[in-house]
Amino acid sequence: MNPPKNTFMVKIIPPGGYSVYRLKFTRRHVAAIALGLLIVLVGAAAFHTYQLRVAESDVRALQSLTAEQQSKLQSIDKQADALANQLRAVQRENAEIKHLIGADRSGSKQHAFAPSSALRRTPDFSAVQSRLRTLAQASESTRDDTKRLQRLAMRVLNLRRMASIARDRLIAAIPSMNPVGGGIASAFGWRTNPWPEFHKGLDLEADYGTPVHATAAGTVVSAGWEGGFGIKVDVDHGNGYHTWYAHLSRATVAAGAQVTKGQPIALSGSTGESTGPHLHYQVMYQGQPIDPQPFLNGVPAKIIATLPDQPGV
């Protein structure tokens, strides 16, 4: 029997040859098989294309992530530059303060750290990490140095403040003003009026009852009648200086009283061997009378020169 047209036959004969297998298929079968193979190939190609696109997308994502990380890394590196500059400024200020307070011989050393120029143009993670670690160490060292310097500065300032107070007290205890503000009626030294004598003080013009002020801080030694001085106040200034105020109408302080510079201590008058209202003002140093005139308008320069130096000068 002849096979119909448009039919294909495939015979399969085993090696023994006892039986023959026949496969019959038409052009339609061939077309179907070809179509199936084509569909499989198209599907494989599409799947491969999809995988390529996914891989390409992953590569782009990785590239974008790397670029973002590199940008962040550069930003961190710039911040490290700013921190390094600030740290150097703090260290310079610390050094200046040490020099000003005389503490620059302590032998302390600032922690060294590499400037940004020591890094590559494009920083990597290890370089930035190392730099940040160095900056952290330098910052901690500078912080400790600043705290130590703060304590030292406070101590120095306190010492200088105490020295300044002591100096002010020394100056406050030196006669340095006109006790009544009046002019000189009779100077220190030899005179003939009202009788020949060595005048051991100044006669200052003052109306009866004019307030008399202490010319320096001190302690009242005596306040009362004393022979030709009439009513007299003696103030001990605790530094070898005494000031006497005589011919008073009344003393307004008593022995043992502490007085400050400029404090009213008496009223002027004309008691004792006096020819009229005025104030006899006498300055004693180490038990000897000295000319009060240089002390009427402040502490004399030659006396200031003998005092301890002004703190900070």
Q: What is the pLDDT of residues 253-293, one digit of tens each?
A: 999 999 999 999 999 999 999 989 999 999 999 999 999 99
> Kind and range of the H or E element at 90?
helix 27-101
Q: How far apart are CA 10 and CA 13, in angstroms?
A: 10
The pLDDT value recorded for residue 166 is 74
Q: What is the pLDDT of residues 136-186, one digit of tens each?
A: 777 777 777 777 777 777 776 676 777 777 777 888 889 999 999 999 998
Domains of the chain: 1-172 (no CATH), 184-304 (2.70.70.10)
Q: How far apart are CA 211 and CA 251, in angstroms?
A: 10
The pLDDT value recorded for residue 220 is 97
Q: How many CB atoms lie within 10 A of CB 146?
A: 15
The pLDDT value recorded for residue 120 is 46
The pLDDT value recorded for residue 313 is 45
The pLDDT value recorded for residue 289 is 94
Rg of the chain in Å (alpha carbons): 54
Q: Which residues of the chain carry a pLDDT beneath 50?
A: 1, 114, 117-120, 313
Cα torsion angle, 75, 81, 86, 87, sign: positive
The pLDDT value recorded for residue 130 is 74
The pLDDT value recorded for residue 82 is 75
Q: What's the pTM?
A: 0.52
Q: Label residue 304 exposed, middle or buried (CB < 10 Å: 0-12, 13-18, 19+).
A: middle
Q: How far apart are CA 163 and CA 309, in angstroms?
A: 9
CA dihedral 262→266→270→271, nearest 10 degrees, is -140
Q: How far apart are CA 308 and CA 313, in angstroms?
A: 11
Rounded to 5°, the CA angle 234-238-242 comes to 30
The pLDDT value recorded for residue 170 is 84
